[in-house]
Chains A and B, each alone.
Chain A
Amino acid sequence: ETGVTQTPRHLVMGMTNKKSLKCEQHLGHNAMYWYKQSAKKPLELMFVYSLEERVENNSVPSRFSPECPNSSHLFLHLHTLQPEDSALYLCASSQDLRAAQETQYFGPGTRLLVL
C-alpha cells in the first residue's frame, strides 16, 4: 500500500446524480492532487492543493468541485456529469511542491461510470 486511500473504488452514477469521491493520505504530505485517466490517454491533472489551498485548476468543468478540508483529506464532488466523464480518477500526494519532493504517491483510484 502507498499510504493513500480512495473511496469508493467503483461508482456508477446517472447524469443527474450528485456523488463525492474521497481521498485520504497517511503520509504527512502537504500537497494533494486529482487526476483523470481515460483509456489510452495520459494522466490528466485536474486540481492541485498545497497546504489546503488550491494552487491549480486545469480548466476543469465546474461539474467537478474539489474540496480540501485539511492536508490529509481531499474530496471531489461530482454533479450532472456526462458519459465522457467516465474514467479512472486518481488521487495522489507528495511531500511538497518543491525540488526534491516531487515523488507522487497514488491511491488505487475510483473507477467511475456515468450512464
Chain B
Amino acid sequence: SQKIEQNSEALNIQEGKTATLTCNYTNYSPAYLQWYRQDPGRGPVFLLLIRENEKEKRKERLKVTFDTTLKQSLFHITASQPADSATYLCALDRPGGSYIPTFGRGTSLIVHP
C-alpha cells in the first residue's frame, strides 16, 4: 500500500539558514504532491502544490522539488525565521485516480533566533 514518510524528529536550525524537509513515498507514483504548514492546535494551511511533470516550484522563500525517480520531495525555506517554526505536512493523491490527498505525519521545524 502507499506509504508516506516524513522525518518524525524535529529539525532545529538557526535563523537565517535554509531549512530542508524531506517527504519520501513508496509503492505509488502520485500525480501531485502538496505541502502544508500546521501550527499547534490549528488546521493545516496550504503552501505549495507540485505536479508529477514539474521538477521545481517556488513561492517567495519557499521551494519544492519533486523527484519521481527517487520518490522524494524536498521542501526548502530560505533565510528561515523563528516565525517559520511549525509542523510541515506533505500530502499525495491516492492511488486509483482519486484526487483526495493522503497526508504524512509531518515534520516539526524549530528556527532558533
Chain A interface (Cβ < 8 Å from any Cβ of B) = 2, 4, 33, 40-43, 45, 48, 56, 88, 90-92, 97-99, 101-109, 111
| Chain A residues whose C-beta falls within 8 Å of the C-beta of B4 in the assembled complex | 42
- The range of chain B's interface size is 20 to 34
| Chain A residues whose C-beta falls within 8 Å of the C-beta of B80 in the assembled complex | none
- In the complex, how many angstroms separate the beta carbon of A105 from the nearest chain B beta carbon? 7
Given contacts A108-B42, A111-B41, contact A41 B105 (CB under 8 A): yes
Interchain CB contact under 8 A, B104 and A103: no
| Chain B residues whose C-beta falls within 8 Å of the C-beta of A108 in the assembled complex | 42-43
| Chain A residues whose C-beta falls within 8 Å of the C-beta of B42 in the assembled complex | 108-109
| Chain A residues whose C-beta falls within 8 Å of the C-beta of B44 in the assembled complex | 43, 90, 104, 106
* A92 to B89 Cα, complex, angstroms: 15
Q: Does B98 contact A (CB under 8 A)?
A: yes
* A45 to B102 Cα, complex, angstroms: 8
Q: Does B10 contact A (CB under 8 A)?
A: no
Tell me whether chain A's interface is mostly helix, strand or loop, or mixed: loop
| Chain A residues whose C-beta falls within 8 Å of the C-beta of B89 in the assembled complex | 43
**Which B residues from 87 to 105 make CB contacts under 8 A with A?**
89, 91, 93, 98-105
Which residue of the partner chain A has the closest CB to B89?
A43
Q: Does B34 contact A (CB under 8 A)?
A: yes
| Chain A residues whose C-beta falls within 8 Å of the C-beta of B103 in the assembled complex | 42-43
* A105 to B42 Cα, complex, angstroms: 12
* A107 to B4 Cα, complex, angstroms: 23
Which residue of the partner chain B has the closest CB to A50?
B100
| Chain A residues whose C-beta falls within 8 Å of the C-beta of B46 in the assembled complex | 103-105
Interchain CB contact under 8 A, A109 and B49: no
